[in-house]
Amino acid sequence: MKKAIRGVATSLAFIVLMAVVARITFAWDQARKIPPGVLAIVPFQQETGNIAYSLAQGKGFGSVFRTDTGPTAWLAPVFPLLIAGIFKIFGTFTTTAFFAAVFLNILFSSAACGPVFFAGKRIGGLAVASLAAWLWALFPNAIMMPFEWIWDTSLSALLAATILWATLALAESDRVLDWCGYGLLWGFALMTNPALGTLLPFLLGWLACRGTQAYCGLGESRQRWKRVALATGVVILCCVPWTIRNYTAFHRFIPLRSNLPFELWLGNNDIFDEHALNGRKVITRTEETRRYAQLGETAYMQEKWQLAFSFMASHPGLELRLAGRKFAAFWTGVESPIKSFRETDSNLVRGILLCSLFTAVGAFVGVLVLWRSRSAITFPLAVFPVIFPCLYYMTHADLRYRHPIDPVLCLLTAIAATSAWELVRAREHTEAGAATEGAAGGAGLP
User: What's the confidence (pLDDT) of residue 408?
Assistant: 98
User: What's the confidence (pLDDT) of residue 216?
Assistant: 45
Mean pLDDT score, 214-237: 80
For the stretch 165-199, pLDDT in tens is 999 999 988 899 999 999 999 999 999 999 999 99
User: What's the confidence (pLDDT) of residue 48?
Assistant: 96
Is pLDDT of 63 > 60? yes
Q: Domain limits of the chain?
A: 2-424
Is pLDDT of 215 > 50? no
Is pLDDT of 43 > 90? yes
- Reported as a pLDDT band with limits 50, 70 and 90, residue 441 is low
User: What's the confidence (pLDDT) of residue 278?
Assistant: 64
Is pLDDT of 223 > 90? no
Is pLDDT of 58 > 80? yes
Q: What is the 3-state secondary structure (H, E, C) of the chain?
A: CHHHHHHHHCCHHHHHHHHHHHHHHHHHHHHCCCCHHHHHHHHHCCHHHHHHHHHHCCCCCECCCCCCCCECCCCCCHHHHHHHHHHHHHCCCCHHHHHHHHHHHHHHHHHCHHHHHHHHHHHHCHHHHHHHHHHHHCCHHHHHHHHHCCCCHHHHHHHHHHHHHHHHHHCCCCCHHHHHHHHHHHHHHHCCCHHHHHHHHHHHHHHHCCCCCCCCCHHHHHHHHHHHHHHHHHHHHHHHHHHHHHHHHHCCCCCCCCCHHHHHHHCCCHHHCCCCCCCCCCCCHHHHHHHHHHHCHHHHHHHHHHHHHHHHHHCHHHHHHHHHHHHHHHHHCCCCHHHHHHHCCCHHHHHHHHHHHHHHHHHHHHHHHHHHCCCCCHHHHHHHHHHCCHHHHHCCCCHHHHHHHHHHHHHHHHHHHHHHHHHHHHHHHHHHHHHHHHHHHHCCCC
Is pLDDT of 218 > 60? no
User: What's the confidence (pLDDT) of residue 309?
Assistant: 95
User: What's the confidence (pLDDT) of residue 32?
Assistant: 94
Mean pLDDT score, 325-332: 94
User: What's the confidence (pLDDT) of residue 214?
Assistant: 42
For the stretch 106-148, pLDDT in tens is 999 999 999 999 999 999 999 999 999 999 999 999 999 999 9
Choose between 1 and 412: higher pLDDT. Answer: 412
For the stretch 2-42, pLDDT in tens is 777 888 889 999 999 999 999 999 999 999 999 999 999 99
User: What's the confidence (pLDDT) of residue 443?
Assistant: 47
Q: What percent of the chain has pLDDT over 70?
A: 93
